A and B are shown apart, each in its own frame.
Chain A
Amino acid sequence: MFGRLTLDALPHSPITLGAAIGIAVGGIVVVALLTYFKRWKWLWREWLTSLDPKKIGVMYIIVAFLMLLRALSDAAMIRAQQAVFAADPNSPISPDMFQQVFSAHGTIMIFFVAMGVMFGAFNLIVPLQIGARDVAFPLLNSISFWLFVAGMVLINVSLGIGEFSPAGWLAYPPLSELAYSPGTGVDYWIWSLEISGVGSLLSGINFLITIFTMRRVGMALMKMPIFVWSVLTSSMLIAFTFPILTVSLTLLALDRTLGMHFFTADMGGNPMMYVNLIWAWGHPEVYILILPAFGAFSEIVPVFSRKRLFGYTSMVWALASIMLLSYTVWLHHFFTMGSGANVNAFFGITTMIIAIPTGVKVFNWMFTMFRGKVRFATPMLWFMGFVVTFTIGGVTGVLQAVPPIDFQIHNSLFLVAHFHNMIIGGVLFGAFAGFTYWFPKFAGFRLHEGLGKAAFWCWLIGFLLAFGPLYILGLMGAVRRMDHYDPSLGWQGLFIVAGVGVAVILLGVFFQVVQIGYSIWKRKELAVGPDPWDGRTLEWSTPKQIPEYNYATLDAVSTRDAFWAMKHSHHEKAEPKYEAISLPKNSGFGVYIAACAFVFGFAVIWHIWWLAAVSLVALIAASIASTQRQHTHRIIPADEVAETEAKLRGAHV
């Protein structure tokens, strides 16, 4: 009746039990508050079933932030174990738990924090920047978000019911096969990624079509904001590589659930095939994450230098070539798998080539600042931190691109330091910069500068302290994922420094949380108009409180930096003619479909076959039903539009 689910699946270790209870209590508190303040209807109507990309974007970011807290706790545990308990055979963190902790850390950071922030940014910024009112497929957008949530819930359920994968964030076979990992851990990993991966793929398609077909009249591709170009190239990557992830996960699931032999050690299975497939997805994935960060910086640097972006065409070519090249480098993740010199050398060279367009972008940013008027508000600080750290990461990347060098670095802590360098210095700093930059647009008030700067310095110094020692440790022979090491090797001091670094980072996060809270509290003092930074792109042209339909009129544009042109044009603005606007109605299908997917995943993991069948049928039925919606739109009549515009723009000083 319950498959292999028994009471034994509840947590055994106090730490896991504590975490599970903590999350459960948090959930109960939220439910209680919603009930007490009678906000269920409001939550359902205003947020959960909304098809407004602005709302969906905010929800993505909230979920991503919660997952950041979880994954940072995992990071703290890793550091604690390696700095303090490494020599203690009775450590509170057993080797088995440690392996689940770092697997969860990596998986959550990539799939739920980075991807979450990214899709949040896509939803919030892209429609506004291209001058549109919505994305191409609003219902699909909601479904994508809820599938993301379903995956997130599944991975958090593993904390309380069952276990998580001990096989790392990519779960290489044969370790991830039944023979060596018979529990439910790897299955949780597979299904939470399978479900959220479908959401990601659908989002990639959605944003590609949005950018291709819904730009303002006159906004040619070479006139759109660079951030939109970065979303376009990232979405291309998503669309064409996420199917590979789906295949890799499915084949592993088939091995584990139906006894197939794709990647088993015996019966003809080929684990090297999995390594190739998963990295054919995995490498483009990291470019999927970094390109929008580059795009955000390309928006921020011109605005804060009061000068237009240097070399727009060059930047577009750089984005496009990075996109194409990212398909040609995947083997550099396993030079040590014995491919032979010709193959290794080929992929090493392609890996180096990708450094060129990336470097070009840095020069273009620097020369945007050249002969500009540079203000070092918090977003610009993040940019400076990014260039400083990402450059180091780039050097260590080029180092490892040389296969014989990689033979001495692969899978050591040097590698771990390198990729954290890229992700924290690149993706995370870009996310923080973008968040600080665009926050006033959506909230109507700035974030407190002082706290923002404090957070930045903590992150920068914390990052250097946390990962500098790891570079050295890697060169000393310290490998990744170890829960203990021989004390005589003299590594502990460096691990302690790294632990201090993580503590400083956590202080930075604390400042960020306080910054948000404090800024909300002091929002009257921190209030700003609709264009606080003297922006250049269309999103800054909306009134302070962005109407649901974004733009009342879809006037044509003719140049890059369309809003800048509007501000500095000397044309008399004609009296706008308002027409009726059609907006999508809310829909609960995102929630229903994702709920079915979640139950299906849970059922397969625990071998509750009857439930899997029922939820699969329900999933199909819900999907079909979602296509049969009548009255999918509501009309806002022209005079209501006029009224709203008068109110919003009249209120603006």
Chain B
Amino acid sequence: MKKQRRKFWTPLRGTVIALLIIAAVAAAIAWYLQGKNVAVFNPQGTIASDEFNLIKFTLMLSAMVVIPVYIMLFAIAFRYRESNHEKKKVKYTPDAPDMRWLEVIWWAIPIMIIGLLAVVTWVSTHQLDPYRAIDSNVKPLRVQVVVLQWKWLFIYPDYHVASVNQLKLPAETPVNFAITADGPMSTFWIPNLGSQIYAMPGMTSQLSLMADHAGSYPGYNTNINGTGYSDMYFKAEALPTQQDFDQWAQSVTAKPDHKVLDWASYTELARPSRTRDVTYYGLKDDNLYTEVVNKFMEAKTPAVSTNEEGNK
């Protein structure tokens, strides 16, 4: 006669083991992430902070649906599994009519939750609109960004300087970005500070960010723009005070043999090349940014952009 084996996987055991595994994985992740910059969850600027709060709120709302779903799924699956029917007095109603009141509940509750989220979405989308300037008493800094293949050009028109592959900004000061691309569609993103926005040739995108305090924050391009796409990594250096920033801007042009950015040197810079070098320029042509945008608007002949890194 076959020996009756006690089943190992009881619902209680299964739930406990599953929760233990989840806890262990969570602990492992937390340990691994120590000291690392989980940028989106580590806001260092006002925009990023607001967005992080939104994430927390939305996750909480979602949990209100998801957790009951998981509990119900496993509870129902376990209770009504075939082998359970023989053992316990589990109801089996193959032709039961649909329970209309249940359907009302699970249409109504998601509708209410989504309704709430919709209102929050409307308000927050307007508040965090990239076209909207940041509320502050401090005079904003103007920065013009030209996304090149495959490097970043930052122009500070009011300070007559420019930097490549490094963004300098004063902390606690709103920065109003005007962003374009001289090349394929790209994206400008500093996750510690906030929103990303597309950079498009012949067009200007707007964005406002503000760093809470001094620090060095990584910046990325998220939209593929050619072979050297993965090289497009820059650092946003937030300096502690406005004076620090002024000092830096002056130091660029103070050196007698400093590089100069005008249309000619810009054209050279804009040629496709992969470089992570940080360079500073004195800005000769204050209208450079506008000229770059207009380059694509001029009719006569198609804008030729040689792709040095030809495919294959």
Binding site for B on A (CB under 8 A): 12, 95-96, 99, 163, 166-168, 172-175, 179-183, 185, 261, 264-267, 271-272, 305-308, 310-312, 314, 334, 336-338, 340-342, 344-345, 348-349, 352-353, 355-356, 359-360, 362-364, 366-367, 369-376, 384, 387-388, 391, 395, 398-399, 401-405, 407-412, 414, 468, 472, 474-477, 479-486, 489-490, 493-494
B37 in contact with A95 (CB, 8 Å): no
Interface stretch among B101-109, B139-147, B155-163, B249-257?
B101-109
Can you list 11 contacts pairing A with B, beta carbon distance less than 8 Å? A175-B226, A265-B184, A265-B305, A271-B200, A369-B77, A369-B80, A371-B92, A403-B124, A405-B55, A407-B128, A408-B55
Closest to B37 in A: A476
Whether a CB of chain A sits under 8 angstroms from the CB of B275 is no
Interface check B170, CB cutoff 8 A: no
Stretch with Cβ within 8 A of A (4 or more), from B214-222, B259-267, B283-291: B214-222
A349 to B82, CA, bound (A): 42
A372 to B85, CA, bound (A): 9
Q: Which residues of B contact A484 (CB under 8 A)?
A: 230
Verify A356–B114 contact, CB threshold 8 A: yes
- B36 with A476: CB separation less than 8 A: yes
Q: CB < 8 Å: which of B37, B82, B131 contacts A477?
A: B37
A314 in contact with B121 given A266-B303, A408-B196, A479-B220 (CB within 8 Å): no
The reply to whether A182 and B310 form a contact with Cβ atoms under 8 Å apart is: yes
Instruction: Tell me if B80 and A374 are in contact (CB < 8 A).
Output: yes
B196 x A96 contact (CB < 8 A): no
A356 close to B107 (CB less than 8 A): yes
**A494–B195 CB distance below 8 A:** no
Q: How far is the CA of A265 from the CA of B182 in the complex (A)?
A: 9
Q: Which of B107, B222, B226 gathers the greatest number of chain A CB atoms within 10 Å?
A: B222
Inter-subunit contact B125/A404 (CB<8 Å):
yes
Q: Given that A265-B202, A340-B131 are known contacts, is A398 also in contact with B77, CB under 8 Å in the complex?
A: no
Tell me the bound Cα distance from A70 to B47 in angstroms: 43
Which B residues lie within 8 Å of A476 (CB)?
36-40
Q: Per-position contact with A for B299-312: 1 when CB-CB < 8 Å, else 0?
A: 10011110101111
Contacts of A166 in B (CB 8 A): 224, 226-227, 311
- How far is it, in angstroms, between the C-alpha of A485 and the C-alpha of B222 when the chains are bound? 13
Taking the closest CB of chain A, its distance from the CB of B269, in whole angstroms, is 18
Docked-complex contact B312 and A367, CB < 8 angstroms: no
Please tell me if the beta carbons of B36 and A405 are within 8 angstroms of each other in the complex: no
Which residues of chain B are within 8 angstroms of A477 by Cβ–Cβ distance?
A: 37, 39-40, 189, 191-192, 218, 220
Q: 4 shortest A-B CB distances, which residue pairs? A: A407-B195, A411-B222, A175-B184, A404-B128
Docked-complex contact B110 and A356, CB < 8 angstroms:
yes
Which residues of chain A are near B77, meaning CB under 8 Å?
Answer: 369, 374, 376, 384
Cβ of B129 within 8 Å of any chain A Cβ, yes or no, is: yes
**In the docked arrangement, what's the CA distance between A410 and B198, Å?**
11
Q: Measured between C-beta atoms, what is the minimum distance from A181 to chain B in Å?
A: 7
Q: Are A404 and B50 in contact (CB under 8 A)?
A: yes
Whole-angstrom CA separation of A371 from B81 in the bound complex: 9
Residues of B at under 8 Å CB distance from A?
Answer: 25, 29, 32-33, 35-41, 48, 50-52, 54-55, 58-59, 62, 65-66, 69-70, 72-73, 76-77, 80-82, 85, 90-96, 98-99, 102-103, 106-107, 110-111, 114, 117-118, 120-122, 124-132, 183-185, 187, 189, 191-192, 194-198, 200-202, 205-206, 218, 220-230, 233, 295-299, 302-305, 307, 309-312
> What residues of chain B lie closer than 8 Å to A175, measured between beta carbons?
184-185, 224-226
> Nearest chain A CB to B225's CB is how many angstroms away?
6
* CB pair A399 B59 closer than 8 Å: yes
Q: Residue of B at shortest CB range from A312?
A: B98
A362 to B69 Cα, complex, angstroms: 8
- For B195, the chain A residues whose CB sits under 8 A away are 336, 404, 407-408
A367 touches B62 (CB 8 A): no
State whether A359 touches B296 (Cβ < 8 A). no
CB of B93 within 8 A of CB of A307, answer yes
CA–CA, A484 and B276, complex, Å: 13
The docked-state distance in angstroms from the alpha carbon of A402 to that of B192 is: 19
CB-CB under 8 A from A338, the residues of chain B are 130-131, 197-198, 205-206
16 A-B pairs besides A163-B311, A370-B76 with CB distance below 8 A are A179-B303, A265-B202, A265-B303, A310-B98, A314-B107, A338-B198, A338-B206, A341-B129, A371-B80, A371-B93, A404-B127, A410-B187, A476-B39, A477-B39, A481-B230, A484-B230
Beta-carbon contact of A408 and B40 below 8 Å = yes
In whole Å, how far is A369's beta carbon from the nearest beta carbon of chain B? 5
Complex Cα distance, B80 from A180, in Å, reads 59
Chain B residues, CB < 8 A from A185? 311-312
C-alpha gap A477/B33 in the complex (Å)? 13
Question: A267 to B110, alpha carbons, bound, how many Å?
Answer: 48
| A136, B79: Cα distance in complex, Å | 45
Q: Are A411 and B32 in contact (CB under 8 A)?
A: no
Q: A355-B114, A356-B107 are in contact. Are A408 and B191 (CB under 8 A)?
A: yes
Complex interface: chain B residues within 8 A of A267 (CB): 299, 302
Q: Are B37 and A174 within 8 A (Cβ)?
A: no
Q: Which of A271, A336, A369, A481 has the most CB of B within 10 A?
A: A336
A411 CB contacts on chain B under 8 angstroms: 187, 196, 222-223
Residues in chain A near residue B33, CB distance under 8 A: 472
| Min C-beta distance of A362 to chain B, whole Å | 6
Q: Tell me if A181 and B37 are in contact (CB < 8 A).
A: no
Of A96, A264, A308, A370, most B-chain CB atoms within 10 Å: A370
- Complex CA–CA separation, A446 to B296 (angstroms): 63
Query: Who on chain A is nearest to B218 by CB?
Result: A477
Partner of B222, one of A264, A395, A402, A410: A410
In the complex, chain B residues whose CB is within 8 Å of the CB of A180: 183-184, 225-226, 305, 307
| A272, B203: Cα distance in complex, Å | 11
Which residues of chain B are near A472, meaning CB under 8 Å?
29, 33, 38
Q: Nearest Cβ distance between residue A474 and chain B, in whole angstroms?
A: 8
Complex Cα distance A272/B185, Å? 9
User: Using Cβ atoms and an 8 Å threshold, which residues of chain B touch A310?
Assistant: 98
Q: Are A398 and B224 in contact (CB under 8 A)?
A: no
- The docked-state distance in angstroms from the alpha carbon of A482 to that of B81 is 46
Minimal beta-carbon separation of B89 from chain A (angstroms): 12
Expressed in whole angstroms, the minimum distance between the Cβ of A523 and any Cβ of chain B is 26
Which residue of chain B has its CB nearest to the CB of A165?
A: B311
Residues of B within 8 A of A480 (CB): 222
Which residues on the A side are within 8 Å of B50 (C-beta)? 404
What's the minimum C-beta distance from B135 to chain A, rounded to whole angstroms? 16
Cα–Cα, bound, A374→B29 (Å): 35
A475: chain B residues within 8 A (beta carbon): 38-41
What is the bound-complex CA distance between A288 and B36, given in angstroms? 40
List, in ascending order, chain B residues with CB within 8 A of A311's CB.
98, 103
CB distance A336 to B54 under 8 Å? no
Interchain nearest-CB distance for B277 vs A (Å): 14
Q: Is the CB of A485 within 8 A of B194?
A: no
Q: Are A345 and B126 in contact (CB under 8 A)?
A: yes
Pick the residue among B40, B94, B120, B226 that contacts A409 (CB under 8 A): B40
8 Å CB contact of A486 from B69, B72, B233? B233
Chain A residues in 8 Å Cβ range of B130: 338, 407
Chain A residues lying within 8 Å of B69, measured Cβ to Cβ, are 359, 362-363, 366, 387, 391
**How long is the Cα–Cα vector from A249 to B159 in the complex, in angstroms?**
45
Let me know if A493 and B32 touch, CB within 8 A: yes
Cα–Cα distance between A180 and B182 once the two chains are bound (Å): 11
- In the complex, what's the smallest C-beta–C-beta distance from B198 to chain A, in angstroms? 5
Distance A306 CA – B81 CA, assembled complex (angstroms): 11
Bound form: Cα–Cα A582–B32 in Å: 67
Chain B residues whose C-beta falls within 8 Å of the C-beta of A360 in the assembled complex: 103, 106-107, 110
Q: How far is the CA of A358 from the CA of B20 in the complex (A)?
A: 30
In-complex Cβ contact of B59 among A96, A312, A359, A395 (8 A): A395
Task: Say yes or no: B197 contacts A352, CB within 8 Å.
Answer: no
